[in-house]
Amino acid sequence: MSAVRLDADAVRERVNTVPDPELPMISLADLGVIRAVQPTDDGALEVVITPTYLGCPAMPAIEAGIRAVLSESGHPDARVRQVLAPAWTTDWITDEGRRKLSEHGIVPPGPAGAPLPVRIGLGAPCPHCGSVATRPQSHFGATRCQAVLVCTSCQETFAHLKAM
């Protein structure tokens, strides 16, 4: 445990760097899961999170990662609270998070509320060659929030983060 009890702003900076266990190239903050790091009425710190999916299997690992940072920051008494409303949306992914996903071969989603574009034979752009001649291969990828697409130009498969 840290000998120094860090203030809420310093703890927030540290919590914002906790990586997502399923997509470790992106922080929970860039993914939009961290909603707040704030003191409560009793003086304890509270981290408010919203899971990407109800029943997300990564939530125990997410909470453990946050609790480790809280303890290391001198706040072993801090709490992690899940809120389900408003529901998480891919619109909460930061521009930096979208950039990191793209750099790692995962196509970030478009706006969640936008109407789907009508494309005849054109899909999400391939992160390997840039072609839009892509098609779905599987509705589910490594995680429930991903789909697997295949590029008909370079024949590579890649993940696409679904818009929600």
Predicted confidence pLDDT, tens digits, the chain (164 residues): 445 788 999 999 999 999 999 999 999 999 999 999 999 999 899 999 999 888 888 999 999 999 999 999 999 999 999 999 999 998 999 999 999 998 988 888 777 766 655 555 567 888 888 888 888 888 877 777 788 888 888 998 888 887 76
Cis status of the peptide bond prior to 117, with omega within 30 of 0: no
Q: Which positions ≥6 away from 123 have C-beta within 8 Å?
A: 132, 133, 134, 135, 136, 149
SS3 13: helix
Q: Are 15 and 69 in contact (CB under 8 A)?
A: yes
C-alpha Rg value of the chain to the nearest Å: 18
Q: How many of the other CB atoms lie within 10 Å of CB of 20?
A: 21
Strand order in the sheet with 45-49: 34-39, 45-49, 79-82
Residue range(s) of every CATH 3.30.300.130 domain in the chain:
8-88
What class is the 8-88 domain? alpha beta
User: What is the value of pTM for the model shown?
Assistant: 0.74
